[in-house]
Chain A
Amino acid sequence: VRGPVKKDPLRPIDLGHVPPAPRSRAAMAMAVRAGQGRFMLQACVRCEAVTYPPRDCCPACWGALAWRDQPQGGRVVAQTDVRVSADIYFRGQMPWRIWCSGWTAQGRRR
């Protein structure tokens, strides 16, 4: 009779941890559009400034924001491989490559 298989206590196991959920309504709106295959960012209806992360007010003139399709291209200005995560959900997924990029948005760049 064989007992239960011994488990390496240091090995992360998938316990069905859920990804971090709290998100603003504006970020959810962007994610929904991304899920439809569209890269959309908010642009100001008054001054056309394009903004990211999603906001509730134009940071250039305090005008209202509307979702606009954006070109897919961009230029990576910095990158890293995240090898250590604070969140247990990501522990088994390291490394995560992340980068920040500039892009040529429609309208004025912000």
Chain B
Amino acid sequence: MLAGVGELGQVNRMTRLPASYEGAVVAAPVTVPYVRFSPQTAHWWAGRALAGVAQATGLGPGDIDGFCFASFSAAPDTAVGMVQHLGLSPRWLDHIPTGGASGVMALRRAARAVQAGEAEVVACVAADTNRIDSFRRTLEGFSRFAQDAMYPYGAGGPNATFALMTDAYMRAYGVSRADFAKLCVAQRENALSNPHALMKSPLTHEMYMAARAISDPVHLYDCVMPCAGAEAFIVTTPERAEALGLKAAQMRGAIERHNGFAADPVQLRGGWVRDVDTLWQMAGMAPSDMHMLQAYDDYPVIVAMQIEDLGFCEKGAVSRFIGKNEFGMQGSLPLNTNGGQLSAGQAGAAGGFQNVTEALRQILRMPLGAQVPGATRALVSGFGMVNYDRGVCSGAAVLEAL
């Protein structure tokens, strides 16, 4: 499984620091409660998300002049079809097909549009339905490489791909299932106060360790549950947010990278590694300044990888880091405070937005459940699109309450 671009693509040339995101703020986090299966369409879920935005802001279709959309199940429609379906008339439009990285990418694009004056109110929406067999259909037609070189080999889906990555990662860095258990158990504990989380019962270390193998070394509680749901937020000017009476947050820094380490034979690091210095320099902050980490968590191996690659600990030291830290609401590093996708459910592309909306709710003091005490800053991280053997897209954003 060796493929990709040449070494040149992996050398970071000296680039100037991106401009700040001053003049664009994020507000009105909306989560439409998830369900395991839904007879509705992605369009219906997107509509519920916009209704939630309307309820939070008082804005209607005519007030939204920018629209950014992410979904896996809206076919044959893209953002264009969605615009007419939902009665929008934006002067700025973006379709983001990047799943787990879509929330951070929506933030970055919408903020630049608002800063440049190309839109004043951008509604960012991710919506997906989940019907019987729709998840398999998504896998079957996910990408050309998956269709050619992954799906025909047992059709294990992401469980199989991440099993390969987890297998290599555990051996490379001495990470154990017990380490992953601590992350998963903490996230479940966090989920128990979130009324929308699909997982309602506590998860113990013993339950995690005794779970059946799905694709070794991935076991049952390492896997997210596909579901239907939608997430949304708006990006606007600080003046407009204030006029609307909205609590808002500022993006202090943000990065994204695609196909970051193409020559690595198996993914042991994500694209964050190439850009993490830019992120913290831009924010003028360090990992220790963060009050929480809303990491992308389709599998715990990716959470562990983000802890390293975003600078919370050295590469290879994550097992010790997990041992020394607590990840609950009162812990030293509150992690995925709504339970994350592992305990709240993975609503398709909305899974790449729920880390953004949860971070906003926590730092704006409007939590669904428990509140991280004194939180004003959050790191949100996205990861997405197993085009073939690894997540191609990565991104991260530092959010601070105004």
Contacts and interface: CB of A to CB of B under 8 A. Distances in A.
Interface of A: 19-20, 22-24, 26-27, 49-55, 59-61, 77-87, 89-90, 93-96, 98-103, 105, 109-110
B99 to A, nearest CB: 17
Given A53-B145, A86-B156, A100 B164 contact: yes
Of the four ranges (under 10, 10 to 19, 20 to 34, 35 or more), the interface on chain B belongs to 35 or more
Interface string B1-43: 1111110000000000000000000000000000000000000
B85 interface: no
Nearest to B145: A53
B2 A59 contact: no
B154 interface: yes
Interface string B125-160: 000000000011001110011011101111111011
Contacts, number: 129
A80 B168 contact: no
Nearest to A84: B214
Contacts of A105: 2
A2 B154 CA distance: 39
A67 B336 CA distance: 47
A102 B4 CA distance: 13
Interface of B: 1-6, 135-136, 139-141, 144-145, 147-149, 151-157, 159-160, 163-165, 167-168, 212-218, 262-263, 265-266, 388-389
Contact of A94 (B2, B154, B168, B389): B154
Interface centre among A51, A53, A93 (most CB of B within 10 A): A53
A62 to B, nearest CB: 10
B147 A90 contact: no
